[in-house]
Structure 1
């Protein structure tokens, strides 16, 4: 009678154990880098620079680069968009305030910053690995791809910026907001006595 795990169970157990340990270690390092966005983005810029240098020296893989550019553009749109699109939620009420008298609702991204960073970093790593396989090096006239990507970028960003203007939201908040409320009488007297 066979065991509950099957015939090849002893061979797969060490691999499963190794995969679980690797997954835990990887998640541990991801968790440790979460509160350090500047360092994360500099690391991603380094990975992107390595990829660009690889494509430059190999003089190929333009289709891979074009696909990477389209993917990054798609991620950027998700990063700049609210989680609930006001155009789609007109019947239920807009998620973002459109008038000064509306209730304040904070901007919540469709794609959070950490997931945005992680997806871009993975995309550059996958594209880098793809540059080692000649099957992905399709011969194309790269200036046409580059021009088409710029046109696509400009049209997409124009639409996104018009959407931001129409619904009056800004997807960036740099630093902690400071409110200049009224000072108390004691604080004003201390300021004048100095």
Structure 2
């Protein structure tokens, strides 16, 4: 008899968990088209975290970890899903084997597909910032460090990784943003 009650309460818990997951997914789906507002909300959350750290004068390790994580997310956002350097090596080996598709002027259109889509980037950044804010309320995470060294190290790491990423973008001729690109679609060509 106790096993039946245990199964029912476990089953009820799983049903409630599934219902909560569906509600959360519905909320996420509803926020998808509002890119600018989502990022504004994340920016406000990040400013609250920075304000918390500046006023509390602590939790620099959490700040550093959040910075490294956000940098990692940003690099994945800027990187193409299919690495062009690997594709070029594959194309060169295929050329040795026999004829292949054209690769220069009459090359087919290949859109830029990100390794980390914008929505996942936003969602991961928001979750990480919320977790960092939560962790900043516990003294166990306030490890004493000399914060200027962490700041200098982060700035050097940022400069090196971004320089490498920009060189990669220049070498393989891709731009991860839509600014300045032609738009082909309804409303893109206006006649005067």
TM-score norm. by structure 1 comes to 0.82
Q: Deviations over 1:86-110 (max 9, x none)?
A: 112233339xx98444332111100
> Could you tell me whether the CA contact under 8 Å between 1:131 and 1:137 is conserved in 2?
yes
The match for 1:57 among 45, 55, 58 is 55
Q: Secondary structure at the match of 2:81?
A: coil
**Given that residues 81 and 110 in structure 1 are in contact (C-alpha distance below 8 angstroms), is that contact kept between their aligned partners in structure 2?**
yes
Q: Which has the larger radius of gyration?
A: 1
Instruction: Extract unaligned runs of 5+ from structure 2.
Output: 93-101, 185-190
Residue aligning to 2:96? none
The 3 A distance-change label for structure 1 pair 23 and 89 is: same
Aligned to 1:43: 41
- Partner residue in 2 for 1:173: 178
Question: Is residue 98–residue 167 contact of structure 1 (8 Å, CA) maintained in 2?
Answer: no
Higher relative contact order (CA 8 A, sep 6+): 2
Could you tell me which runs of 5 or more consecutive residues in structure 1 were left unpaired when the two chains were aligned.
Answer: 180-187
Q: Which has the higher helix share?
A: 2
Q: CA RMSD in A?
A: 2.5
2:58 counterpart SS class: coil
Give the superposition deviation at 1:22.
1.6
Structure 2 equivalent of residue 160 of structure 1: 165
1:12 equivalent in alignment to 2:10: yes
Indicate the residue corresponding to 1:183 in structure 2: none
Q: 1:31 aligns with which of 4, 29, 33?
A: 29
Secondary structure of the equivalent of 2:87? coil
Kindly report structure 1 stretches of 4+ aligned residues shifted beyond 6 Å. none
The equivalences for 1:87-126 within 5 A come to: 87-93=85-91, 99-126=104-131
Count matched residues: 177
